[in-house]
Structure 1
Amino acid sequence: MRLRHLLAPALVCGALTALAGCGGSDEGGGASSPNATAAPASSPAIAAAERPVAAEFPKTQGRTLRQLADTLQPGPQAGLATSLYTPGENRLAFGLIDAENKFVYGRTAVYVARTPTAKASGPFLAPADSLEVRTAFRSQTSNSTPGELKAIYHATVDLPRAGRWFVLTVTRVGDTQYGATADLLVRRDAKVPEVGDDAPSVDTPTLASVNNDVAKIDTRTPPTDMHDVNLRDALGKRPVALLFATPALCQSRVCGPVADIAEQLKSAYGDEVDFIHNEVYVDNDPRKGLRPQLEAFGLQTEPWLFTIDADGKVAARMEGAFGIDEFRAAVEAAQRGAASN
């Protein structure tokens, strides 16, 4: 079975499918760099999108989602990068793309409602988070064309009940506010471990388990440096950052960038946290189905990140695209202990 797309078809079939790989180099940003956890300097648009302010967005004032939308200019399409939602607070990640298949960046917030004619909740701020890493950590299986996805929006939204929910994103570009819509399904329960749960104790492939034939357990070019530790051996002893991703086979084309981010953060946190990269498909062949580790975690999409504290509890979990700031926060949550989703 193939995993479902994590970005909506407008994104996957548009700009994302045009992305090409790029070659890495050894310029700057290595483990000895004082900025080893930081992204390269963002463009002015992305830098502004990283810092939304609630006062810039409409107050709901009892209005419905449709009434709020009517005050906005038609704008980009919203492509969701998350698919699993349960009652309560949820991470909602998404990209915005215009009619020319170009990604749009601006200060953004999210509103939600059960129906378009129901009272809206929000604004939930949705800062952009950079997917770019320093040159030394960029792989050939990541994107590098001018149209690449450079940052992902993320918000924590309250979805208190199961069922279908409607989403309105509001993005400020200059003095204009643009609206985009999406919908999602909140499920009553899910098999995926939540923050505070015990992480499943499973064996993950290591170089030793494949006689150092890294191609059997890694599709990234070059392979990641995250195959020395078996999850079962590390659980309950040290914090862990466990990344499920298949850089060469990922349908949403974000597995390469998140694996690059993991490599960059490992250079800074690797002495204190065990970083593990687990591929998605048996023998790296989608026709053979999912690896047993994904089954153990209840996963049906990719990529996923779980950080696990030294007691073996899930400290943070993230689905789909996630940038360097969210990834860093998840690693630090594992160092502190289970704290946030």
Structure 2
Amino acid sequence: MPRFVVLLAAVLAVFAAACGGAGDNDAPKDPVENVPQEAGVRERVKVAVNPDEAEFPAPAGKTLEQLANEMTAGPDFALATSIFTTGGDSRMAFGVIGQDGLPVYGPTAVYIAPTPDSPAEGPFVAPADVLLTDARYRSKQAATEDSPFAAIYAAQVRFPKRGQYSVLSATKGADGKFVGATSQIQVSSKGADPIPAVGEEAPKVTTDTLETTKGDEALLDTREPPSDMHEDFAQVVGKKPVALLFATPQLCASQVCGPVADIALQIKAKYGDRMSFIHQEVYVDNDVSKGLREPLRQFNLPSEPWLFVVDKRGKITSRLEGSIGVQQFEDAVKTGL
């Protein structure tokens, strides 16, 4: 099974890993406040957090290509999720990367069509979600103020049928004009996805603990420093709510997995008295060539990171693939409480 190597990973891999350090003990703040103010980035992210469907062009029978032709071309559409199905909303997480290699931030939405010359459907708004945690939760692999990628977009998209789709993102600039980026995805039929779904019982997998790794903390957790999120899922599930995160901060192909583990720690500080937070590493012996660890195999995961929130009955209430920001992580946790 492949690692989390989609377009976003390929784009972000060119950036040097940023080093986070210990921070202060202030109360958690609005995640947008962690975004740097330089070059107006914070203000652009702030307006991107709450896009309004009404501010985007209505398709009005136009094809996807016609809509794209009314926008400025140039940015790359960087997918951060890979599983899309019919029968409900699919989460499409992505970044928009300008020709200068830097993220493009602003109110954003996506449009879809089976082909570029087919009538477009949308807009599906894609709120930006901040990836930066408060300083005290940052690891060596963290997203920091110096990281080029401060937020991720995510839209809930409903696909009417399976097959290949063309995708167009539209990001509104300060001048009111739109820049467009395109991509293609494959959509599967509902039921063809083997990964445990919302509403289903979570597989009662045994996750790694300090005991199962014979005291080897480096084997247990590639995060630097290691976290304390290492209970055995099989011993907890069905007794209390659980947030189960499959991620490898050190071995991920991009600056996605590290921030996700850090975000889990920040959310744990708020909800840890009501829910167990468990982080499971991905590769056997932390060696990519040895394949996936058993818990990932039992969940039928084709990629990482993945977050599963499970309520006290053992039922999955939320599942998120790929890049996850602070707000979506917290929203997912709330579904299990």
Q: Into which bin does the TM-score normalised by the smaller protein fall?
A: over 0.9
Q: CA deviation at 1:40?
A: 3.4
Aligned residue for 1:248, secondary structure, equals coil
Q: Does the Cα contact within 8 Å between 2:12 and 2:255 map onto a contact in 1?
A: no
Equivalence for 2:51: 52
Residue by residue, what CA displacement relative to the aligned partner does 1:128-186 show, whole Å, maximum 9, x if unpaired?
A: 00000000000001244745211000000011211101111000011211111011001
Equivalence for 1:182: 183
Look up the equivalent residue of 2:62 and give its one-letter code.
R
Look up the equivalent residue of 1:261 and give its one-letter code.
I
- Are the structure 2 counterparts of residues 234 and 320 from structure 1 closer, same or farther at C-alpha, using a change threshold of 3 Å? same
What are the equivalent positions in structure 2 for 1:60-99 lying under 5 Å apart? 60-88=59-87, 89-99=89-99
**Residue number among 253, 258, 278 corresponding to 2:260 in the alignment:** 258
Aligned residue for 2:274, secondary structure, equals coil
Question: What is the distance in 2 between the residues matched to 1:71 and 1:62?
Answer: 14
Question: What is the distance in 1 between the residues matched to 2:29 and 2:221?
Answer: 23
Normalising to structure 2: TM-score of the pair? 0.93
Residue by residue, what CA displacement relative to the aligned partner does 1:92-129 show, whole Å, maximum 9, x if unpaired?
A: 00001011111111100111111111111111110100
**Residue number among 212, 216, 225 corresponding to 1:209 in the alignment:** 212
**Residue number among 197, 201, 206 corresponding to 1:198 in the alignment:** 201
Q: CA deviation at 1:235?
A: 1.2
What are the equivalent positions in structure 2 for 1:1-341 lying under 5 Å apart? 2-6=2-6, 8=7, 11-29=8-26, 33=27, 35=28, 38=31, 40-42=33-35, 43-88=42-87, 89-144=89-144, 146-174=146-174, 175-188=176-189, 189-227=192-230, 229-335=231-337
Look up the equivalent residue of 2:153 and give its one-letter code.
Y
Equivalence for 1:338: none
- Are the structure 2 counterparts of residues 73 and 115 from structure 1 closer, same or farther at C-alpha, using a change threshold of 3 Å? same
Aligned residue for 1:74, secondary structure, equals coil
Question: What is the distance in 1 between the residues matched to 2:29 and 2:334?
Answer: 15
Residue by residue, what CA displacement relative to the aligned partner does 1:261-319 show, whole Å, maximum 9, x if unpaired?
A: 00101111111000000000001011111001111111111111000011111110010
Residue by residue, what CA displacement relative to the aligned partner does 1:40-65 show, whole Å, maximum 9, x if unpaired?
A: 34410100110111111001111111
- Aligned CA-pair RMSD: 1.6
The percent of aligned pairs where both chains have the same amino acid is 44
Q: Does the Cα contact within 8 Å between 2:20 and 2:143 map onto a contact in 1?
A: no
Aligned residue for 2:336, secondary structure, equals helix
> Which range moves more in the overlay, 44-53 or 212-221?
212-221
> Which range moves more in the overlay, 140-149 or 271-280?
140-149
Unaligned 5+ segments in structure 1 are 336-341
Look up the equivalent residue of 2:188 and give its one-letter code.
R
Aligned residue for 2:202, secondary structure, equals coil
Question: What is the distance in 2 between the residues matched to 1:302 and 1:62?
Answer: 38
Question: What is the distance in 1 between the residues matched to 2:106 and 2:30?
Answer: 24
Q: Does the Cα contact within 8 Å between 1:50 and 1:127 map onto a contact in 2?
A: yes
Q: Which runs of 4+ in 1 moved over 6 A?
A: none
Aligned residue for 2:262, secondary structure, equals helix
Unaligned 5+ segments in structure 2 are 36-41
Normalising to structure 1: TM-score of the pair? 0.92
Look up the equivalent residue of 2:58 and give its one-letter code.
K
